[in-house]
A and B are shown apart, each in its own frame.
Chain A
Amino acid sequence: MMVNGTVVALSRIQFAATALYHFLFVPLTLGLSFLLAAMETVYVTTGKPIYKDMARFWGKLLMINFALGVATGLTMEFQFGTNWSFYSGFVGDIFGAPLAIEGLMAFFMESTFIGLMVFGWERLSKGQHLAVTWLVAFGSNLSALWILVANSFMQNPRGAAFDPLTMRMQLTSFPQLIFNPDAQSKFVHTSVAGYVTAAIFVAGVSAYYMLHKRHVELAKRSFRMAALFGVLATIAVITLGDALGFVDARVQPTKLAAMEGLWKSEAAPMPFNLIAFPSQAQRRNVADVRVPYLLSLLVTHSLTGTVPGADALERQAVRRIKDGIPAVQALHVLARNPTDAAALAEFDAHRKDLGYGFLLERYAPDLNDATAAQLERAARDIIPPVAAVFWSFRVMVALGLLMLAYFVITVLYTLRNRIQRKTWLLKTAVWMIPVPFIANEAGWLVAELGRQPWTVFDVLPTWMSASTHSVAYMAFSLIGFVVLYSVFIAVEMYLMVRAIRLGPAEHGDAGGPGPQVRPSLSPRPLPAAPYGRRLEG
């Protein structure tokens, strides 16, 4: 069962690359669909056609983004089976269910109604179309819900137990699975991060139009709606980030230690490493800037709470690995004879540390003669790559606070209807567009890199989870993905920028000079009413 280390590494790179890529498109869909619902709600309640123009224009951009989100989502669904087959067999009984329910409950709804949303403007009544738009928004976010329920099982495996009869983890409580605290806070955090992403995107593109004095009426309204949407969403995303940290402190102490660069356990109140340069080899921060009291306040919401550092966690891991050895050994017996009573009793006594036994198997394939050095090595593995997690976390938080400040200012100006005159702020808004995307990616890294060395926390180590492919197969697939995805992103960016430059082709206001598009980009004169998803005939 030793999977080649290079294959595991390549599988991890491939999964991370395709997941990060997929996650470039998903948050925008999550948020933009609700912004569209907001715009169309105004249209239906006030009857002002400009809001319909807005819904259609932003809907067109949504579709360009959505196509790639759907396409790259297919990869994710395949990849558990193609590249993580041991993982899929080991926890598929629990992990597969939310994915299937996602299809049944959410993805069908989103995908069926998005077709009607785009094609149904003339065929549906106003109210029907509004309902369809809301269903798309709920569908896409419910989709995220079930994916994150599945993901949270990897972070904090609840509602499942190992069954020696089938040699895998099995569901024991479905409610525990879906009401996992990690799932609750992570879903809201992620969904709302999508709202922020969409708000910054809409505000940025609207600012671009206002700067160029194009489509000013549409841009002003879009900007205001995005700013209000964004400021509330940013407050929520920070709140939920805090809640998630609070959950992690209890269920994933190793992740928290990595996020905070905590090598040594300390007494309460613990100081916060504002800046630090962690060294994995030396087990310490080479340099740091600390804020007293803050860490205890942040992660335990009290001045007397503490969280363990890497040193204490490694000591604990040594104990658990020792306890896990008999569990793995009993499992070897049970694999041959599932009814061996002695082995069953031995397994039951040590089952909670089975995963730690697996950790050691990486270095000592025969657990009977594991050395102290091998045990030490396995115990050190439980600390994720600290520098990467620490800095990803800092980047995410810093950008989150930056976006909060930005939205507070923009709300201020847009509520006074003066935003169109604040050139500096409009320019900032355009430059803000990449910020949430970077924050989203950083957040993914914190969550998933911080989970290492496990695929299922405390249960299944990453090194065991991968499929038994050859290096050549992995090289082939990785190169294929890189080539294909590079072409995709180039095409998508080109079409997105082009659609933004062309702008909403027709609406009520005198929006200044027309689209300033290079001739090569504008193959035909624009027809009379070409917005929606198509630009030319």
Chain B
Amino acid sequence: MELYAILQVTWWLLLGVLLMGLAVMVGMDMGVGAILRYVGRSDLERRIALNIIGPHWDGNQVWFILGGGAIFAAFPLIYATAFSGFYVVMLLLLWTMIMRPLGFEYRSQLASPAWRNVWDWVFLVSGAVPMIVFGAAFGNLFHGVPFHFSWDMTSYYTGSFLGLLNPFAIAAGVLSLALSAMMGSLTVMNGAEAALFQRARRLAQLAAAVAIALFAICGLWVHALDGYRLTGGPGPGVPQTPLQQSVALAPGAWLSNFAAHPLLWLLPLAGFAGMAGALLAARAARSHLGWWLGALAWIGVIGTAGAALFPFMLPSSTDPSMSLTLWNSSSSRATLLWMVGFAAFFVPLILWYTSWAFWVMRGKVTPEQITRGDEHAY
């Protein structure tokens, strides 16, 4: 295989890793935000929940920013086409997401219950909406997105906002929300005690059960969807535009990769095992184990979606042969190579200091820490 093709696959995998990092790390913070009003009944309890992720939400959020940056750098056409095509949804995602940093910094600055109540609703919205959008975006990939290109690669999106809210996408969106609620609950369990811990424990089991059901439903549903299959084109490692390939549609074609490579079935298996394991761990009150199993569940779910779609990244329903694949939408060889160099150096470094930050701030958040006031708590 030529170096360029290897780089393309490398970046496809790296993007997958970043999306998994995003789902696990941002998803857990979003989950805590979304369940805040339920698990925290008093202001003190809610503050404990917020302070469990307090030192880390900011760093975690960078997974999201890095995910966006990596798509831009490694697959510019995907970034350009998806972000502009999903305009209204992207704005919803953005507007809800940018409220969240303010929620953390500003919520507890004033003691007024009304003020704090408003921010608690902000946490709910800014936790739930982005995770639903995240899942629904993946769901729409399986349907194809109504876009096409003109001769000079100007993209035109011809669908409507409501078209993105089809049943399969909603199911995928709720699956994503359930997984993040599960991770959020497990995170709260990691850092909380007493009633807060118990409520989070119940919620983690419920969310895991919902996620298992939805993942199974989505998996069966995919059989009935029209899948895309690359039937011709310049192929891997060749500089090209999306105007030079041919694509055919066939029912169930999204599962052809699994048929060709049975080992891929390990991915959905990991997804189910992770969810079921997290459920059992939550039941047994072993939240740290549950958290790692929950992370495994995310890896399994996103890996399954990626394996099914490969080599497609953004299928077009308007003109399937204009679908974006990793072969026709990636950056040039030089860019991918430089970026691999930077990623190889910095990703391990990031993992190292992120782990250190979690280790420094390890342990339970107690009510005394919050009320004492000298812990600079949120």
Q: Given the known inter-chain contacts A119-B376, A530-B373, A533-B376, please indicate yes or no for A107 contacting B66, CB distance below 8 A.
A: yes
The DSSP consensus for interface residues of chain A is helix
What's the Cα separation between A387 and B353 when bound, in Å? 49
Check if B331 sits within 8 Å of A524, measured CB to CB.
Answer: no
| Cα separation A291 to B314 with both chains bound (whole Å) | 59
Question: Across the interface, do B241 and A476 meet the contact criterion of CB distance under 8 Å?
Answer: no
Residues in chain B near residue A108, CB distance under 8 A: 59, 62, 66, 346, 350, 354
**Assembly CA distance A172 to B58 (angstroms):** 35
Q: Decide if A105 touches B342 in the complex (CB within 8 Å).
A: yes
Cβ–Cβ < 8 Å partners of A476 in chain B: 88, 91
Give the CA-CA distance A510 to B68 in the complex, in Å.
50
B residues adjacent to A (C-beta < 8 A): 54-59, 61-62, 64-66, 68-70, 72-74, 76-77, 79-84, 87-88, 90-91, 94-95, 97-102, 104-106, 108-112, 150-157, 239-241, 243-244, 331-332, 334-335, 338-339, 342-343, 346-347, 350, 353-354, 357, 360-361, 370-378
The residues of A that contact B69 with a CB separation of less than 8 Å are 77, 96, 99-100, 102-103
Complex Cα–Cα for A3 and B156 (A) = 10
Contacts of A71 in B (CB 8 A): 97-102
Partner of A537, one of B64, B70, B338, B371: B371
Instruction: Indicate if the CB atoms of B83 and A172 lie closer than 8 Å.
Output: no
Name the A residues within 8 Å of B74 (CB-CB): 96, 100
Instruction: Pick the contact of B106: A67, A83, A94, A529 (CB < 8 A).
Output: A67
CA distance A89 to B372 in the complex (A): 53
Which residues of chain A come closer than 8 Å to B83, judged between CB atoms? 78, 80-82, 85, 88
How far, in Å, is B21 (CB) from chain A's closest CB?
11
Q: Could you tell me if B84 and A81 are in contact, using CB atoms closer than 8 angstroms?
A: yes
Known contacts A97-B339, A105-B342, A533-B376; A165/B58 CB under 8 A: no
Can you list 22 contacts pairing A with B, beta carbon distance less than 8 Å? A1-B154, A81-B80, A81-B84, A81-B90, A85-B84, A87-B80, A93-B335, A97-B335, A97-B339, A99-B69, A100-B66, A116-B357, A116-B360, A118-B376, A119-B55, A120-B361, A163-B239, A170-B331, A170-B332, A469-B84, A477-B87, A534-B109
- Whether B70 lies near A174 (C-beta < 8 A) is no
**CB of A331 closer than 8 Å to a CB of B:** yes
- The chain A residue with its CB closest to the CB of B151 is A335
> Is A179 in the interface zone, CB < 8 Å from B?
no
Taken residue by residue from 485 to 526, chain A's Cβ proximity to chain B (1 for < 8 Å, 0 otherwise) reads as 000100110010011000000000000000000000001100
Q: A residues near B, CB below 8 A?
A: 1, 3, 63-64, 66-68, 70-75, 77-78, 80-83, 85-97, 99-105, 107-109, 111-116, 118-124, 163, 165-168, 170-172, 174, 331-332, 335-336, 338, 464, 467-469, 473, 476-477, 480, 484, 488, 491-492, 495, 498-499, 523-524, 527-530, 532-537
A111 pairs with B61, CB closer than 8 A: yes
Given contact pairs A111-B59, A467-B84, A171 touches B91 in the complex (Cβ within 8 A): no
Q: Which of B80, B151, B241 contacts A332 (CB 8 A)?
A: B151
**Which secondary structure characterizes the binding site on chain B?**
helix
Q: Which residues of B contact A488 (CB under 8 A)?
A: 102
The residue that A104 contacts in the complex, of B79, B98, B342, B374, with Cβ under 8 A, is B342
Interface centre among B70, B373, B376 (most CB of A within 10 A): B376
CB < 8 Å neighbour of A90 from B81, B102, B153 = B153
Q: Which residues on the B side are within 8 Å of A116 (C-beta)?
A: 55, 357, 360-361
- List of B residues within 8 angstroms of A532 by Cβ: 374-376
Residues of A within 8 A of B55 (CB): 115-116, 118-120
B192: shortest Cβ distance to chain A, in Å? 16
Indicate if the CB atoms of A88 and B377 lie closer than 8 Å. no
A108-B350, A112-B59, A115-B59 known; A468 vs B154 contact (CB < 8 Å): yes
Extra contacts besides A170-B335, A533-B378 (14): CB < 8 Å: A3-B154, A74-B97, A88-B83, A89-B80, A95-B72, A96-B74, A97-B338, A100-B70, A104-B346, A121-B376, A170-B332, A476-B91, A491-B102, A528-B374
Given contacts A67-B104, A99-B73, contact A120 B360 (CB under 8 A): yes
Interchain CB contact under 8 A, B339 and A109: no
Judge whether B88 and A499 touch: CB under 8 Å: no
Task: Give complex CA distance A464, B155 in Å.
Answer: 12
Once bound together, how far apart are the Cα atoms of A488 and B332, in whole Å? 40
Across-interface contacts of B62 in A (CB, < 8 A): 103, 107-108, 111-112
Contact check, B361 vs A70: say whether CB atoms are below 8 A apart. no
Determine if B152 and A75 form an interchain contact, defined as CB atoms under 8 angstroms apart.
no
Query: How far apart are A310's CB and chain B's nearest CB, in angstroms?
Result: 30
Residues of chain B within 8 A (CB-CB) of A533 are 105, 376-378
**A96 in contact with B331 (CB, 8 Å):** yes
A82-B90, A115-B357, A530-B373 known; A468-B157 Cβ under 8 A: yes
Contact B152 A80 (CB under 8 A): no
Contacts of A66 in B (CB 8 A): 105
Given A104-B66, A537-B373, CB of A335 within 8 Å of CB of B243: yes
Contact across chains for A534 and B376 when beta carbons are under 8 A apart:
yes
Q: B79 touches which one: A92, A115, A469, A537 (CB < 8 A)? A: A92
Q: Is the CB of B76 within 8 A of A93?
A: yes
Contact B156 A124 (CB under 8 A): no
Q: Are B81 and A68 in contact, with the CB atoms below 8 A?
A: no
> Are A119 and B54 touching (Cβ within 8 A)?
yes
Query: How many Å lie between the Cα of A432 and that of B343 in the bound state?
Result: 43
Bound together, the chains give a CA A360 to CA B350 distance in angstroms of: 47
- Given the complex, which residues of B lie within 8 Å of A70, measured CB to CB? 58, 61, 101
Find chain A residues with CB under 8 A from B90 CB: 78, 81-82
B79 touches A101 (CB 8 A): no
Set of chain A residues within 8 Å of B65, measured between Cβ atoms: 73-74, 77, 103, 107
Q: Identify which of A92, A332, A533 gathers the most chain B CB atoms within 10 Å of its CB.
A: A92
* B240 near A165: Cβ-Cβ < 8 Å: yes
Q: How far is the CB of B35 from chain A (nearest CB, A)?
A: 21
| Given known A88-B80, A100-B72, contact A467–B87 (CB-CB < 8 A) | yes
Residue on A with the closest CB to B94? A78
Q: Tell me how far the C-beta of A167 lies from the nearest C-beta in chain B, rounded to whole angstroms.
A: 5
Q: How distant is B365 from chain A, measured CB to nearest CB, in Å?
A: 10
Shortest Cβ distance from residue A179 to the other chain B in the assembled complex, whole angstroms = 14
Cβ A75 vs Cβ B98 within 8 A: yes
Asked whether, in the complex, the Cβ of B91 is within 8 Å of the Cβ of A97, the reply is: no
Least CB distance, A79 to chain B, in whole angstroms: 9
Q: Which residues of B contact A495 (CB under 8 A)?
A: 106, 109-110
Write out the residue numbers on chain A whose beta carbons fall within 8 Å of the beta carbon of B102: 67-68, 71, 488, 491-492
CB-based contact A112/B58 at 8 Å: yes
Determine which of B72, B88, B108, B112 lies in contact with A88 in the assembled complex, contact meaning CB atoms within 8 Å. Answer: B72
> Please, how many angstroms separate the alpha-carbon atoms of A484 and B62 in the complex?
22
Contacts of A473 in B (CB 8 A): 87-88
Docked-complex contact B72 and A80, CB < 8 angstroms: yes
Q: Is the CB of B347 within 8 A of A104?
A: yes
Bound CA–CA A75/B164 (angstroms): 22
Chain B residues, CB < 8 A from A536: 111, 373
Q: Is the CB of B338 within 8 A of A174?
A: yes
CA–CA, A72 and B65, complex, Å: 12
Given A77-B68, A100-B69, A112-B59, residue A124 in contact with residue B109 (CB < 8 A): no
Q: Once the chains are docked, how many angstroms separate the CA of A400 from the CA of B337?
A: 42
Contacts of A112 in B (CB 8 A): 56, 58-59, 62, 350, 353-354, 357
A339 CB, nearest partner CB in chain B, Å = 11
B185 to chain A, nearest CB (A): 22
Query: Cα distance A1–B152 when bound, in Å?
Result: 8
**B residues within 8 A CB of A87?**
80
Interface-centre pick from A75, A468, A476 (highest chain B CB count, 10 A): A468
Q: What residues of chain A lie closer than 8 Å to B241, measured between beta carbons?
A: 165-167, 335, 338
Bound-complex Cα distance A455 to B97 (A): 28
